[in-house]
Amino acid sequence: MNENKKFFSKIGVNYLILAIMSIFFQILLLNILYRYNPYLVQNINIRTIVSAFSYYILPFPIFVYLMRKIKAEKIEKESLTVKKFLLYLCITITLMWFGNIIGNIITMIIGNFMTHEIVNPIKHIIQNSNPYVNLIILSIIAPIFEEIFFRKLLIDRTIKYGATLSIILSASLFGLFHGNLSQFFYAFFLGGFFAYVYTKTGKVIYPIILHSTINLMGSVVSSIFAHALKNIPAFNPVDISIVAIYAIITISALIIGLYTILSDYNKIDLNEIYLEKPVKTVVLNVGMILFILFHILLILRSLNIIKLF
């Protein structure tokens, strides 16, 4: 195995370890809670908090240690204007919507073939857990840790092979890490765009804020909108205002985002990939193959095709 293959194999192994640690810590904490009080593990708020500790907080020091053993490169820092940031936010909203639509269509088709509905885990959490829990975990904790894991720590180490490769790899690992088809597509699109923003600015704070905003809109804000929409027939002026404002902001963002993507697509300036055989080098190595196979199993499990832990 050449040096480049070894490099990406190590990356794959590290992210596989992150995934395994996350599941291990979740099983461990839930079992401890179950022994203490079986009813606690039935509470979706408790399970959501446990998931946050398991996927982000507990694995963090170990994963940072593993990634820091790989040499990082410095990315030149550049600040965004308010106008540019708002434009990026519109693109983020657009990619989230299109990714969500694609994911819903594909899971619906698969669900029809399997004669049962495929549950979107994040949608289940949003609809059933406390909005304050959603606010803290989905809109604050998750964006911070996920952007450090899949942008900062990853891109700083792969940027030497070109921004294009770093962006595609970041998007792919981020999409697969979610472990289900419902989230894969919008996670892939958003992960790729957040990676693009990071490679252009060198500041992880920008993708964190974009990520936090889109999660806030998809969890807390969307819940408020759904509640107001149900009350529209009662002609409550507050609910009507909420629905109108949400619709105007969303439609405006989609129009601006879509126009920007279509008009500026050919203007995107990314470095070329500095590998002769990028797919063979990046994907066809032990670490990446194990990472991909592990997450394919998780996706099949989410579709109830196979049974795991």
Domain boundaries, the chain: 3-302
pLDDT for the residue numbered 305 = 76
pLDDT for the residue numbered 185 = 93
pLDDT for the residue numbered 104 = 85
N residues, the chain? 309
Residue 300 has which token pair?
Answer: 């099949």
pLDDT for the residue numbered 119 = 67
pLDDT for the residue numbered 117 = 65
pLDDT for the residue numbered 97 = 92
Per-residue pLDDT of the chain (309 residues; tens, 9 = 90+): 689 999 999 999 999 999 999 999 999 999 999 998 888 888 999 999 999 999 999 999 999 999 999 999 999 999 999 999 999 999 999 999 999 999 888 888 887 777 666 667 777 677 778 888 988 999 999 999 999 999 999 999 999 999 999 999 999 999 999 988 889 999 999 999 999 999 999 999 999 999 999 999 888 888 888 878 887 776 678 878 888 898 999 999 999 999 999 887 776 766 677 888 889 999 999 999 999 999 999 998 888 777 765
Residue 79 has which token pair?
Answer: 């600040």
Torsion angle defined by CA atoms of residues 171, 172, 176 and 178, in that order, rounded to the nearest 10 degrees = 0
User: At a CB cut-off of 8 Å and minimum separation 6, what does 185 contact?
Assistant: 99, 100, 102, 103, 106, 175
pLDDT for the residue numbered 275 = 86
Q: Which residue has the tokens 């395994």?
A: 20
User: At a CB cut-off of 8 Å and minimum separation 6, what does 251 contact?
Assistant: none
Q: Are 20 and 309 in contact (CB under 8 A)?
A: no
pLDDT for the residue numbered 229 = 80
Q: Are 184 and 178 in contact (CB under 8 A)?
A: yes
Buried b / exposed e across 117-135, counting CB within 10 Å, b at 16+?
Answer: ebebebbebbeebeeebbe
Whole-model pTM: value is 0.93
